């Protein structure tokens, strides 16, 4: 098995599938299992009369299952893969039965056709995108900005002291209009303004902050021709223009040994966005690799798991403060120790400097070498305290209680290296390590 448990679980469309998959990762649930080096298969008795036929092409991995689930991969696929990982003897080497062979051969044939087609026809380039359609989108965005400006002006003219007592529907309508105007990135700013309204004590500060940044983006977009190229790319990206992966991969990357130091996940509509934080052990640079999982779409495997290190080339998206990246080449897996982190004050200074250069940066990597969690009074959100200096930062309310207690247990109030995400106000620890070990929270 070339997969780790983390990699398998990263394929799951949601948490329920993870749980159900684990439950199915037991030999008793399976019969007629087999493995031939390229594919795994097995029969799983479900609620129906005949067992489900589950098959996995490890090259993808690609899944096929006769169960009626719309999730992809289904719990049977995940369960079989987890079973093969945890108890290889439960999936013995054998010859593919006809129902598996049929599928794998069809897949191989399709792959050949794709390769052939690829060699015959040059891949379409971005230059094929018509100038006309770009101009049309720009025009739609400009109209959307006009309309949003009017709405925002009205908003501050009448004041937002009592806005929470009124319907918040106008925020949803504005966001929808911006999506129609092909500015989905700006629509997210409006959604965040709406979220700030219901974020409890201190909402006024957060609302004004989002309002200020939204206006800044509008102004920046209108004057993008005056901006340096990298900042212009950020502004366009924030508005909703994507940098094509092909174009990014054409840029020069940074060759280093990259350590996958942490990962986090967030749901955006039905899409799960997984954030993998990489640290260049030679350069000290941080990079962010995004992985998207849609419950109904075949998931691509994540090329690494937290704790892995690999020698390779990482290329940043064009940005005034480059963080988001693609892995241009991943050569060898390297065994390394955990990365070395600096002081809390230094980490925060770096965050402040990034934020000053790119004010819209909401989530940043932050690590400190010798800190510990402190819980304080009940109902207190908790803090992360630097052992030597006593400096501290509030812990994010997004930190799940179970993760918080794992962190407390690991640290024992002794100096511990903690890496996580900083949103400008609070810190979300994601991984931690000391002489007790390396823990994914």
CB of 69 to other proteins, least distance (A): 21
Q: List Cα–Cα distances, 267 to 122, 274, 275, 388, in angstroms.
A: 36, 9, 11, 37
Furthest CA-CA distance within the chain: 74
Q: Which is nearer to other proteins, 56 or 220 (CB)?
A: 220
Q: Which is nearer to other proteins, 88 or 118 (CB)?
A: 88
Q: Which is nearer to other proteins, 283 or 343 (CB)?
A: 343
CB of 16 to other proteins, least distance (A): 14
Q: Which is nearer to other proteins, 72 or 207 (CB)?
A: 207
CB of 356 to other proteins, least distance (A): 4
CB of 410 to other proteins, least distance (A): 5
Q: Which is nearer to other proteins, 330 or 355 (CB)?
A: 355
**Footprint on this chain of other proteins (rule: CB under 8 A):** 22-23, 26-28, 45, 86-87, 89, 152-154, 156-161, 204-205, 208-209, 211-213, 215-216, 219, 344-345, 348-349, 351-353, 355-356, 359, 374-376, 383, 385-386, 390-394, 402, 405-406, 408-410, 412-414, 422, 424-425, 436-437, 439
Q: Which is nearer to other proteins, 39 or 44 (CB)?
A: 44
CB of 266 to other proteins, least distance (A): 20
CB of 257 to other proteins, least distance (A): 22
């Amino acid at each position: 098995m070339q997969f780790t448990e983390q990699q398998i679980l990263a394929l799951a469309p949601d948490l329920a599938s993870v749980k159900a998959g684990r439950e199915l990762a037991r030999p008793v649930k399976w019969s007629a299992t087999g493995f031939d080096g390229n594919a795994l298969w097995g029969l799983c008795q479900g609620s129906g009369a005949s067992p489900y036929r589950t098959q996995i092409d490890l090259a993808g991995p690609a899944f096929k299952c006769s169960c009626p689930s719309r999730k992809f991969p289904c719990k049977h696929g995940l369960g079989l893969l987890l079973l093969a990982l945890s108890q290889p003897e439960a999936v013995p080497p054998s010859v593919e039965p006809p129902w598996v062979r049929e599928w794998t051969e069809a897949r191989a044939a399709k792959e050949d056709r794709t390769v052939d087609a690829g060699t015959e026809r040059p891949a379409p380039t971005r230059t094929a995108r018509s100038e006309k359609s770009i101009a049309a989108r720009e025009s739609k965005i400009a109209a959307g900005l006009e309309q949003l400006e009017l709405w925002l002006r009205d908003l501050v003219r009448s004041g937002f002291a009592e806005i929470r007592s009124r319907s918040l529907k106008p925020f949803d309508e504005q966001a929808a209009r911006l999506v129609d105007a092909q500015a989905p990135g700006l629509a997210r700013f409006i959604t965040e303004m709406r979220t700030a309204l219901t974020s409890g004590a201190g909402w006024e500060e957060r609302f004004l902050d989002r309002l200020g940044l939204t206006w800044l983006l509008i102004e920046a977009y209108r004057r993008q021709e005056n901006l340096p190229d990298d900042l212009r790319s950020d502004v366009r990206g924030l508005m909703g223009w994507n940098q094509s992966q092909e174009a990014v991969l054409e840029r020069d990357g940074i060759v280093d040994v990259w350590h996958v130091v942490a990962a986090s996940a967030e749901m955006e509509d039905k899409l799960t966005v997984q954030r993998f934080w990489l640290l260049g052990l030679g350069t000290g640079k941080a990079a962010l690799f995004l992985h998207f999982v849609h419950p109904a779409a075949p998931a691509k495997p994540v090329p690494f798991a937290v704790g892995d290190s690999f020698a390779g080339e990482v290329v940043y998206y064009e940005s005034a403060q480059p963080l988001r990246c693609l892995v241009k080449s991943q050569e060898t897996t390297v065994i390394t120790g955990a990365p070395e982190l600096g002081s809390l004050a230094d980490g925060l200074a770096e965050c402040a400097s990034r934020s000053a250069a790119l004010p819209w940066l909401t989530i940043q990597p932050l690590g400190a070498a010798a800190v510990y969690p402190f819980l304080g009074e009940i109902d207190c959100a908790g803090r992360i305290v630097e052992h030597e200096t006593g400096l501290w930062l509030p812990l994010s309310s997004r930190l799940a209680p179970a993760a918080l207690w794992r962190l407390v247990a690991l640290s024992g109030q002794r100096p511990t290296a903690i890496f996580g995400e900083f949103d400008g106000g609070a810190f979300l620890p994601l991984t931690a390590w000391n002489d007790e070990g390396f823990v994914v929270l």
